């Protein structure tokens, strides 16, 4: 077996800034790598997670001009944890503003988890702007995907972790757990909001790694991080991403002619492999790499290896 690829060494941005996108939102953005090299936009997960320094390291900095940004309401963008004017289609429009700001006619689009959702929504709206797609941990807001996480599915793989997710919600409200969480995450009781946010975010942290990872759980249960990701994720889940049922799978016909790679962990308990498989059936040209020892996160060795090989191949 060939030696697995790892992340590129740490780098710092060569430029940072903020972009006012209207509705009171100000987006933090940064550019890394080599100005004028192959343009790529990185779309983080969540929604609501924000970018990290390791996200920059998935691309050869000598061959890529990398634009990363914190989506509305999260990371260094303001206002923090805001749900106002925060939908999939607002973010698609934000990407076009960022592309124009950077002076790119076309660019590669790279996203994992929720970032894969936003990548597909953008590429199906603006296929003429996309040179390639690299996607990980496919999620498309179908009802079956939502039920897997919040009704029945992951709860049967993590039965010992599920009670902690249910704990903030009284038994009489558990018929619609996502709506019950929304009431607490958007309510005026700050203590109840933080309690619900940490339980919501911790449940996700439990499902995203192949093996338990205390560092991931610690990161996800930090008060500020948890409130942003829980409020924004819940907001998107309640509205099913402002997408019709099956829209992004059916819309894959619009991707014909765009080279693409999907990297999917075989044991991804957050975004199960069936969605990546269904997308492959609707988009036959895409390369699907099912990682035999992979879960959900980009940082798992087999996932990282496949992602770096994909970005290196497209750089050539």
Provide the CATH number for the domain around residue 37: 3.40.50.1820
Among 241, 261, 287, which residue terminates a domain?
Answer: 241
Do residue 53 and residue 95 come from a single domain?
A: yes
- Whether 228 has a pLDDT exceeding 70, the answer reads yes
**pLDDT over 90 at 109, yes or no:** yes
d(CA 41, CA 85): 22
Task: Count structural domains, the chain.
Answer: 2
Q: Going by DSSP bridges, is the β-strand pair 130-136/260-265 parallel, antiparallel, or unpaired?
A: parallel
Q: Does the annotation count 223 as an active-site position?
A: no
- What is the full DSSP assignment across 98-111? HHHHHT-SSEEEEE
Per-residue DSSP letter, 78:
B
pLDDT digits (tens, 9 = 90+) for 54-67: 999 999 999 999 99
Residue 251 within a domain: yes
Compute the average pLDDT of residues 237-242.
Answer: 98
| Full-model pTM | 0.97
| β-bridge partners, 15 | 31
Element (H, E) at 136: strand 130-136
- Across 2-6, 73-77, 309-313, least confident range: 2-6
Separation CA 142–CA 113 (nearest Å): 14
Please indicate, yes or no, whether residues 256 and 202 belong to a single structural domain of this protein. Answer: no
Tokens of 128: 């003429």
Establish if 3 belongs to a structural domain.
no
Structural domain containing residue 135: 15-142+242-315
Q: Examine the domain organization and report whether 78 and 225 are in the same domain.
A: no
Q: Which CB contacts under 8 angstroms, 24+ apart, belong to 245-251?
A: 245/142, 245/143, 246/140, 246/142, 247/140, 248/117, 248/120, 248/121, 248/124, 248/140, 248/141, 248/279, 249/140, 249/142, 249/275, 249/278, 249/279, 249/282, 250/282, 251/120, 251/124
- Average model confidence (pLDDT) across the chain: 97
125 and 21 within one domain: yes
Residue 69 lies in a domain: yes
In a domain, 6, yes or no: no
Instruction: Please report, rounded to a whole number, the percentage of residues in the chain having pLDDT higher than 90.
Output: 99
Residues 118 and 265 in one domain: yes
Dihedral angle of Cα 224, 230, 235, 236, to the nearest 10 degrees: 110
Which residue in the list 113, 155, 201, 299 is annotated as catalytic? Answer: 113
Query: Which pLDDT belongs to residue 10?
Result: 98
Assigned domain for 8 exists: no
> How confident is the model at residue 2, as a pLDDT?
79
Asked whether residue 12 carries a pLDDT value surpassing 90, the answer given is: yes
Binned at pLDDT 50, 70 and 90, residue 118 comes out as: very high
Cis amide linkage into residue 177, ω under 30° from 0: no
Q: Is 55 a catalytic residue?
A: no
pLDDT at 175: 95
**Residue 292 in this model has a pLDDT that exceeds 80:** yes
Q: Which of the following is catalytic: 60, 65, 70, 268? A: 268
Instruction: Point out the catalytic residue in the list 104, 289, 296, 299.
Output: 296
Same domain, 59 and 134: yes
Query: Averaged over 86-101, what is the pLDDT?
Result: 98
Residue 175 lies in a domain: yes
The radius of gyration of the chain's CA atoms, rounded to the nearest angstrom, is 18
The model's pLDDT over 123-162, given as tens digits with 9 standing for 90+, comes to: 999 999 999 999 999 999 999 999 999 999 999 999 999 9
Token pair of 212 as six digits: 């338990």
* Claim to verify: residue 84 and residue 116 sit in the same structural domain: yes
Looking at the structure, tell me whether residues 85 and 53 fall in a common domain: yes
pLDDT tens string 157-212: 999 999 999 999 999 999 999 999 999 999 999 999 999 999 999 999 999 999 98
Residues 34 and 137 in one domain: yes
- Same domain for 158 and 304? no
Answer yes or no: do 148 and 235 share one domain.
yes
CA neighbor of 269 nearest in space, from 111, 150, 167: 150
Is-cis flag, bond preceding 79, omega within 30?
A: yes
7 in any annotated domain: no
- Residue 109 pairs with which residues in a beta bridge? 41, 133
Final residue in a domain of this structure, among 192, 214, 241 = 241
Is 268 annotated in the active site? yes
Burial of 277-289, coded b for 16+ CB within 10 Å and e otherwise, reads: ebbbeebeebebb
Among 189, 219, 241, give the residue marking a domain's end. Answer: 241
Residue 1 has pLDDT above 70, yes or no: no
In a domain, 41, yes or no: yes
Percent of the chain with pLDDT over 70: 100
Domain match, 183 and 212 both? yes
Q: Give the orientation angle of helix 177-185 with respect to helix 190-207, to 10 degrees.
A: 130
Helix (H, G, I), strand (E, B) or coil at 123: helix
């Amino acid at each position: 077996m060939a030696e697995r690829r790892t992340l590129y060494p740490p780098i710092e941005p060569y430029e940072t800034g903020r972009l006012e996108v209207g509705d009171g939102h100000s987006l933090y953005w940064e550019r890394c790598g080599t100005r004028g090299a192959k343009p790529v936009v990185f779309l983080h997960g969540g929604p609501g997670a924000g970018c990290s320094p390791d996200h920059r390291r998935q691309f050869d900095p000598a061959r890529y001009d990398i634009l990363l940004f914190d989506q509305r309401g999260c990371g260094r963008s303001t206002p923090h944890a805001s749900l106002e004017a925060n939908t999939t289609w607002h973010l698609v429009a934000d990407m076009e503003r960022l592309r124009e700001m950077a002076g790119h006619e076309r660019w590669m689009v790279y996203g994992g988890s929720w970032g894969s959702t936003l990548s597909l929504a953008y590429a199906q709206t603006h296929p003429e702007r996309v040179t390639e797609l690299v996607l990980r941990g496919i999620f498309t807001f179908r009802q079956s995907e939502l039920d897997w996480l919040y009704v029945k599915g992951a709860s049967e793989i993590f039965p010992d972790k599920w009670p902690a997710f249910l704990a903030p919600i009284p038994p009489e409200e558990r018929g619609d757990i996502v709506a019950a969480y929304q009431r607490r995450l958007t309510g005026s009781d700050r203590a109840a909001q933080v309690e619900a946010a940490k339980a919501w975010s911790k449940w996700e942290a439990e499902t995203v790694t192949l093996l338990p990872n205390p560092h991931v759980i610690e990161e996800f249960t930090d008060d500020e991080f948890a409130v942003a990701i829980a409020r924004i994720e819940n907001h998107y889940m309640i509205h099913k991403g402002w997408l019709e049922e099956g829209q992004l799978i059916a819309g894959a016909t619009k991707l014909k002619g765009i080279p693409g790679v999907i990297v999917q962990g075989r044991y991804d308990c957050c975004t199960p492999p069936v969605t990546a498989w269904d997308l492959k059936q609707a988009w036959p040209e895409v390369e699907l790499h099912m990682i035999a020892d992979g879960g959900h996160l980009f940082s798992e060795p087999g996932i990282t290896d496949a992602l770096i090989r994909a970005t290196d191949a497209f750089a050539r």
